[in-house]
Structure 1
Amino acid sequence: MKAVTIKEIKTELQHLSNEELVNVCLQLAKFKKENKELLTYTLFEAANEEGFIETVKSEADILFDSINTNSYFYIKKSVRKIVRILKTNIRYSKKKETEIELLLYFCKKMLEIKPSIKNNVTLKNIYLREKLAIKKKLTSVHEDLQYDYTQQLSILSL
C-alpha cells in the first residue's frame, strides 16, 4: 500500500467527527510506541516545556549512569542510544530552545564519562557533532538566549 500525502490526510481528517478522530488517534497510539509517545507529549507535556525538559534530562541521567564503562565499544553503543532517545524527544517538542538545552546537557554529561572521551576518536566525534549542531541552532533563537547558550557552550571544551 502506498501512503498518501499529508495534505490528503488532512483533508480526509477534516471530514471526520470528533468520535472518529478519537478512534483514529487511539488506533495510532496502539500501532507504534513513537506515536504513543508523541500523543503523550502533545496531550500532557506540551503545556509545561520546563517539566518536559527535566523529565528528559532525568531519563538521560539514568542512561548515563547505566553505561558499561569496561570498554569504549560499550560506551559508544550506549552514547548512540542516548543520542537517539534525545533526538526523538527533541522531534516531539519542535522548539529550538528545548533542543539546545537538551544537547548542551548531553555534551556536559559526555565530558563527565570516565574513562574520558578524549581517548576515543568516535566518542570525540559524536561530542563534536552535537556541539556543532548546537552552534547551528543558536542562530534561530532570541539574542539573549543566544548569549546564555553561547556562554554555556564555551564552558564545554575538550
Structure 2
Amino acid sequence: MKPATISELKKSLAHLDRDELLDACVRLAKFKVDNKSLLTYLLMKSDDELAYADEVCDAIDEQFLEAYVGTNRSLHKKTLRKIIREFEKCIRYSGDKETELKIRIHFCRQFFDRKLRFGRCRVSANMYASQLKKIDKAIDKLHPDLQYDARRETQGFDSLL
C-alpha cells in the first residue's frame, strides 16, 4: 500500500472534527515511539526552545557519562552513532537553527572538554568532522551577530582531528 502525500493528508485532516482528529493523534502516538516523541515535543516542549535544547544537552551528558567508563579516553563508534542518532531526532523535531547549533556545539564540546581521542578509528573521527561541517552550515544561516558568537564558541574544535 502506497502512503498518501502530505498535501492529501492535510486535506483529509482538514475535514475531520475535533474528536476524530484527537482519536487520530492518539492512535498515531500509540503506533510508534517516534510519533509519541514528536507529539510530546509539539504539545509540551515547543513553546520553550531554550529549555528543550538544555534538556537534550543534559541527555547527551548522561549518555557520555554512561559510555565514558575507564581511563582510555575513547568512545566506541557504535556508542557515538547512538548518541548522534538520538540528538539528530531531537533536532529534526525542533527545526530551529539556534537549537540545532546549541545541541551540536554541546556535543562537540564534550569531546573537547573531556579530551577524548579517536585513536586509529577513522569512523569516529569522520562522525565528529561531519558534526563540525553541520555546525558551520548552521552558523551560516544565523544572524551575523549570532554567527560571531557561535564561531568564537567553536574555536579549537578542529584541533581534535
- Alignment TM-score, normalising by the size of structure 2: 0.90
1:149 match? 150
> Counterpart amino acid of 2:13?
L
Does the 8 Å contact 1:107/1:127 carry over to 2? yes
Give the alignment's Cα RMSD to 1 decimal: 1.9
1:66 aligns with 2:71: no
Provide Cα deviations, 1:127-155, integer angstroms capped at 9, x if missing partner: 11100111011111111111111111113
Give the number of aligned pairs.
Answer: 158
Shift of 1:116: 1.6
Q: Which residue of 2 aligns with 1:135?
A: 136
Partner residue in 2 for 1:106:
107
Q: Which residue of 1 aligns with 2:8?
A: 8
**AA at the equivalent of 1:43:** L
1:115 Cα deviation after fit: 5.1
| In 1: Cα distance, 2:62 partner to 2:152 partner | 26
Partner of 2:125: 124
Quick one: higher RCO (CA 8 Å, sep 6+), 1 or 2?
Answer: 2
* C-alpha separation in 1, matches of 2:126 and 2:9: 40
Shift of residue 72 of structure 1?
A: 9.2
Unaligned regions of 5+ residues in structure 1, if any?
none
TM-score, with length taken from structure 1: 0.92
Letter aligned with residue 47 of structure 1: D
Counterpart secondary structure, 2:78: helix
- Equivalent position of 2:21 in the other structure: 21
Q: 1 CA distance for matches of 2:69 and 2:113?
A: 12
SS class of match (1:66): helix
1:25-104 matches, cutoff 5 A: 25-67=25-67, 75-104=76-105
Contact preservation (8 Å) 1:30, 1:36: yes
Quote how far apart the aligned CAs of 1:75 are.
1.6
Give the distance between the partners of 1:151 and 1:73, measured in 2 at CA: 26
| 8 Å CA contact 2:75, 2:118 repeated in 1 | no
Aligned partner of residue 155 in structure 2, secondary structure: helix
